[in-house]
Structure 1
Amino acid sequence: MTNVKYVLLSKHDTSENDFEHQSQSVFEKILAFVTQKQFARILTFCAVISTLPLLHTRFYYDKTKHFYETTIQVEVEENNITTTESVLNVTNHNDISKYEYFIHTSQCRIPYVEPFGESVLKIFNPHKYKYTNCTKDEAFITSIYQLNARKYVLHMNMDAIERAVKPLNAIATDVRCCYRQIVRAGSGGSADLKYNLLNCVIFHQDFLVPKHIDYLITECYLGSNDKKPLQKDAFSFIQATKKTNSSESASESKVSGIRKPSVLLIGIDAVSRINLRRTMPQTFKYLQRNQWVELLGYNKIGDNTFPNLMALLTSYNLTMAEQKCLPKTVGGLNDPICNFIWNNFKQFGYKTAYAEDTSSMSTFNYKKKGFKRPPTDYYLRPLTLAIEKVLKVTKKAGLSYCVGRKHYGEYIYDYALQFVNAYPEEPLFGLFWTNSFSHNAFDIEATMDVKVLEYLEKLKTDGVLERSIVIFLADHGIRWGPLLKLKSGFLEERLPMFFLSLPPWYQKQHPDFVKILQINQKRLTTPYDIYATMKHILEVAQPEKVFSILNGTTRGISIFREIPENRTCNDAGIPEHWCTCVPYEIVPTSDAVVKHVTLLVLMEINQYLVNKNISDKCAELKLKTIVSVQMKMIKVPNESTYRISFEVNPEKARFQATVAFNIPTNTIKTDVEDISRLDSYAKTSNCIDLKEEKKYCVCKK
């Protein structure tokens, strides 16, 4: 490949010599005039005034010259010539708003989106959203961890209890408290669905929690009244002496002596990198100030949470995940062939944990069988099942937002902090995921900005960032709602946030990783690459141990190895419909070919309903209107690729499809399950209980 660079000046630019010559000639004429006339002082003053515009113009030119420079890079390779344009070279890479693109490579240009554009502010007022506590009362019970003894104590806050019962003409000693142990109770197909809440056992001040208890609910009553508790609360425990499945527990390799970093994944469902800046500005500023690395080209590879997390945790795409893991079969997700990377971490001596809120829609349970056996050493699901039933629930956007005295997400974050603080000297792997304040609406997460920031700061003050590689990420952006109606909606859905924090000692130990990471920040990346990165971390920490790959291949490239500059979506494993790299041009919605192609897409969807044997319950979809159309600018002979957003009847359901139209054969190529549903379908598809199929089903009335 031959690269030739040219620098062209805007037609408004003028050379410095022209300015100097112009300024000089004006001064000479004025001085000659002054020597021949009276009122020299007045005329001299006028001359100075007349030259000010020229002086200002020259000064402005010097200051802004680089803004008018346009660099045209011409790439010549095997008779193919392409041009790429870069408007401004920016040295301050922390201020991404100065870029036209999130990333700009020879094969991938992802446009930068202004988070607070005029169209966004019509649907989002940042001053409207405030953090509020879930309760106004004081906590009666506090859980205290004694690190040296590795034990938990339930402490009764007698002053708070005294204040609470004083209006009832009672004193703190009139209050009795008990706990109910939560136990995972199901088996077979219900193993991940059932729990037992044991009888309430009275406890007293500074009660030592027995080692066999992983979670419990406390209830405090006044006197002999056992029907209406004064307060309920829920607690989880990381019992450090609990027998785990990890093969060895060493903070460093016994052979090489290399220190092992903990690896923690903290995920928030449906948050794009654009929306993080918009709805959680304090969290974003914290990440920037503390040098968290952001992957600017991180692109989702599938529609919803399951395919994106499976790619990250197993390296499988959706098809392979369904074939190998059999998520709708009891025990399928526990089968070693499912290749979850937390099993590899166990083999390398790590303690493991997994916690996710909103039990009905958890990644591995929504329309799936879940785990027959706990997948990790520490598993929070029994607690989430219990608190949703036993404690008071307040909802926002249809999801449990406050559960008991805390925001639902806080149970997940508290569990994460318990996990890392219970094992300060041992390597850990943990996945901590929240859905409750982000999945159903793009703006609710704004109410949790200060709380998420609080937990991230706690990771720093507790020293967790000193010993752990921490990844703060999402699976995708919001998948429906008003945000997707904007011009930036296509990118909002496909570009999840991704931030990475490396411990200082790890950076010193691997300076090459740091340099490569700076390069890969601006390269196209996917969840497959994060699986490869975690594999890389283990192999580097314990090179004498073999990392077993059960599927025979690993998709993705570690972000600690340079990702090719010319990487395409196809190279990265990103299907066409989810690819944000390639530019499209607008096509009129009235175009006859476009209407024909849209009708062909509808035929495919309706046939899909027939093939899935649900057409008796789901209505036939009929085109109402074509909302917008774009055509791929990179042409293939005899083929045009369209991105079409359209609305159908009944129920004005909205879809977006990426479809390749073969002109000679008059046929289309598209994967129905990659077609996006842009509006919420929870209420219109409840006649069937199939996850993927629900997107395309509008129930008959």
Structure 2
Amino acid sequence: MYCGSFVAHSHFKWLAIWLCIVLLIIYMHSPENFYKPTKLMYKQSVNKNVFKNEMESIDEVAIFNKRPVQKYYVKTKVCKIPYIPPFTEDLMKFYKPKTFETCSNETDLVQANFDEDSKSYRLYINETLAAQKLNSTEVKLNCYYEEITRYAEHDSYNDPLPRIYFSQGYEVPLHVQGMMIHCYEAANETNIVQSDAYAFIQYKPMAEKPQKVETNRQPSVIMFGIDSTSRINVRRTMPQVFKFLRGPGWYEMQGYNKVGDNTFPNLMAILSGYLPDSAKAHVCDTSEKYCFDRFPFIWKHLKAAGYLTAYAEDSWSINTFNYVKPGFVEQPTDYYFRPFLRAFDAKLDTWKCAECSWTYCMGRRLQTSYIYDYGRDFTRRYIKERPIWGLFWTSSFSHDDYSMPSKMDKHILEYLLDFKKDGVLDESIVIFFSDHGARYGRIMDLDSAFLEERLPMMFIYLPTWFREQYPEFADALYINQHRLSSNFDLHNTLIHILQLGRPSEALPLAHDCPKCHSLFYPIDEQRRCVDAAISEHYCTCEPYKRLHAKWADRIAPRVIEHINDYLWARNFSSLCVNLTLHYIHKTEMKMSLDRDFFENDIIEETVYRTKFKVMQNSADFYATVLYNNVTDQVTVDVETISRTNSYDKDSTCLNDKLGKLYCICMKDLRS
């Protein structure tokens, strides 16, 4: 408006036009406009094919080099979390994006399609494909399925039930939740033409309830988790997904800091509000059978409020509640994927790609696709009908290699676009998140490793109607993007969402963080790690300075003594070797945000971090300790010490989840 007026009355019309253009460019590229809040009335409308083509042309390094410089994720008087560029020079010396691989180019011989009219699945045989595979239209094809049922005692699957032969258009009985399908030449049963597997979201009619006036609309909540993915790494390895997550309605919690070492404590905090040690003291011992069945998980509150619930996770051998844990006896959610995945893994051919640590393909499909297909079917079935909650968690491609998510970037984007097309983003709050960043591998040798490990990605999407109905919540979430937050805040946010439809019902907030609250309320700018129940070992708020003085080398040997004492106290010393120092990677001292330190300064007692390697199997550890420079004493909670390289082959003699981190079994000792 002002430019137009200026141009109209100027004697230097062209000079004025150029001046306006320059001012407009400066305005559009200023940091405050780059991070401008989303307009509440903005509605996203993107052509899927155009969007996909645009995504495919991204040069991920160039796009970040052109962004306005960001120095901090969080910058307050008491917490400064530095921003780490994803493509640093030291990382680019060895980082190579991976190429996506398909499992099979075969067309489905049998498709399971959901019939909206009958609310049931029907099986359709591709007879043209069958004739091609049999090289004849005269040769008959027989197809049968074996139903998969859950074996409750071991949170697994029962032996397949007897064969059920089917023909074209067969209606799957409603009680069948999963099946293995085999088609073979009728005259030669050994000639299997194709095998496949399906897990179904069989329709559950809504229970009739007394008529009542609903004062608040209940939003659905869909949670997509990718193991071991930091906010730095999602920018680096999944630029197409990251661009999608920068769209209208999305908020990135850039101050989100993990509270535990691995998946289990971090998901426990989100889903229950407890950490494992506290849970043992106040609820039950999570290593004992039936404990998880009576645990106050968020899905129990959701089911009581009328939500349908679903939980699916890949990599069954390291599932969150099953790896060195008893799992569930009672099925935890309305839809639960684990029994089907176990059966698929056992009964189908599996394949690992050359770079994979875990199974990449089960049968003709990606292991991750089973999880995302299950989530897609769940949301399609109910998203416009009733409130739902689902957690869909994958670790197979991200757990062991920080670079592997680059293999899945386009694949995951396609699912996100499908969810958008299906209306999930119109109805639901969506949480796209991780438990922690990479915990071992070459990336742990970088200076940014400490932040890489402790700052998982966390994106929250609010649908347009929710932002319009609760503008104060959207405003708070916008502010909280650059405030320190933790898993317990997310737990309280889930409780808050649940209570929107039941405002009169009080539900317990996160037990292990009394000062935490919903992310829909502004977080205090003066918040410290202790306020968010983030221990010193995981806290990223205050800087550390690397020490080169010889006296700093006294700390690591003291830490090793504590580890050995820990193994002895837990009666593991007869199985595990005594650890001895090989060398020290680095030792750092915690710095105050408002003062400098020189190595000749003598501080009697303060906090240090030390990373070191032991002689036994070249195991690497990273510890945060309190060290007294006068008494030469170290105070450390051994169970907070991080193992920063793989221990999978070092601790096969133990079935204790924490003990495995520190034990080098005598029988696994390598010379």
* TM-score, normalising length: structure 2: 0.86
Distance 2:470 2:214 in 1: 16
Match of 1:369 among 318, 321, 326: 326
Match of 2:370 among 411, 429, 437: 411
What SS does the corresponding residue of 1:142 show, helix, strand or coil? strand
Runs of 4 or more above 4 Å deviation: 94-97, 548-555
Match of 2:310 among 342, 345, 353: 353
Match of 1:472 among 407, 410, 432: 432
Distance 2:286 2:467 in 1: 38
Q: Which residue of 2 aligns with 1:15?
A: none
What SS does the corresponding residue of 1:219 show, helix, strand or coil? strand
Matches within 5 A, 1:233-272: 233-241=196-204, 254-272=212-230
Match of 1:400 among 356, 359, 368: 359
Distance 2:205 2:656 in 1: 38
What SS does the corresponding residue of 1:354 show, helix, strand or coil? strand
1:618/1:228 CA distance change after superposition, 3 Å: farther
Check whether the contact 1:530–1:556 (CA below 8 A) recurs between aligned residues: no
2:294 aligned with 1:328? no
Distance 1:310 1:254 in 2: 35
Percent of residue pairs bearing the same amino acid type: 40
Match of 1:541 among 491, 494, 501: 501
Q: Which residue of 2 aligns with 1:491?
A: 451
Q: Which residue of 1 aligns with 2:108?
A: 139
> Which range moved further: 369-378 or 396-405?
396-405
Q: Which residue of 2 aligns with 1:526?
A: 486
What amino acid does structure 1 have at the position aligned with 2:123?
A: L
Check whether the contact 1:150–1:422 (CA below 8 A) recurs between aligned residues: no
Deviations 1:107-134 (A, max 9, x none): 11111111111111122123xx221211
Q: Which residue of 1 aligns with 2:441?
A: 481
- CA drift at 1:139: 0.9
1:196/1:524 CA distance change after superposition, 3 Å: same
2:413 aligned with 1:421? no
Matches within 5 A, 1:528-677: 528-548=488-508, 556-588=516-548, 591-634=549-592, 638-677=604-643
2:335 aligned with 1:383? no
2:78 aligned with 1:107? yes
1:471/1:89 CA distance change after superposition, 3 Å: closer
Distance 1:521 1:105 in 2: 13
Match of 2:273 among 315, 324, 327: 315
- CA drift at 1:284: 0.7
What amino acid does structure 1 have at the position aligned with 2:344?
A: I
What SS does the corresponding residue of 1:454 show, helix, strand or coil? helix
Q: Which residue of 1 aligns with 2:188?
A: 225
> Which range moved further: 253-262 or 468-477?
253-262
Distance 1:159 1:487 in 2: 58
Deviations 1:32-68 (A, max 9, x none): xxxxxxxxxxxxxxxxxxxxxxxxxxx9xx99xx9xx
2:651 aligned with 1:685? yes
- CA drift at 1:291: 4.0
- CA drift at 1:637: 6.7
- CA drift at 1:173: 5.7
What amino acid does structure 1 have at the position aligned with 2:229?
A: V
What SS does the corresponding residue of 1:578 show, helix, strand or coil? coil
What SS does the corresponding residue of 2:420 show, helix, strand or coil? helix
> Which range moved further: 394-403 or 356-365?
394-403
Unaligned runs of 5+ in 1: 1-58, 67-87
What SS does the corresponding residue of 2:134 show, helix, strand or coil? helix
What SS does the corresponding residue of 1:472 show, helix, strand or coil? strand
- CA drift at 1:89: 6.0
Distance 1:623 1:568 in 2: 34
> Which range moved further: 117-126 or 386-395?
117-126
Tell me the matched-pair count.
602
2:235 aligned with 1:277? yes
Distance 2:211 2:459 in 1: 27
Check whether the contact 2:96–2:403 (CA below 8 A) recurs between aligned residues: no
1:98/1:232 CA distance change after superposition, 3 Å: same
Distance 2:35 2:118 in 1: 47
Match of 2:297 among 324, 340, 346: 340
Q: Which residue of 1 aligns with 2:252?
A: 294
* TM-score, normalising length: structure 1: 0.82
Check whether the contact 2:144–2:183 (CA below 8 A) recurs between aligned residues: yes
Q: Which residue of 2 aligns with 1:51?
A: none
What amino acid does structure 2 have at the position aligned with 1:485?
A: D
- CA drift at 1:172: 7.6
1:527/1:503 CA distance change after superposition, 3 Å: same
- CA drift at 1:547: 2.4
> Which range moved further: 226-235 or 545-554?
545-554
1:628/1:254 CA distance change after superposition, 3 Å: farther
2:121 aligned with 1:158? no
Check whether the contact 1:182–1:215 (CA below 8 A) recurs between aligned residues: yes
Q: Which residue of 2 aligns with 1:35?
A: none
- CA drift at 1:652: 1.1
What amino acid does structure 1 have at the position aligned with 2:422?
A: D
What SS does the corresponding residue of 1:429 show, helix, strand or coil? strand
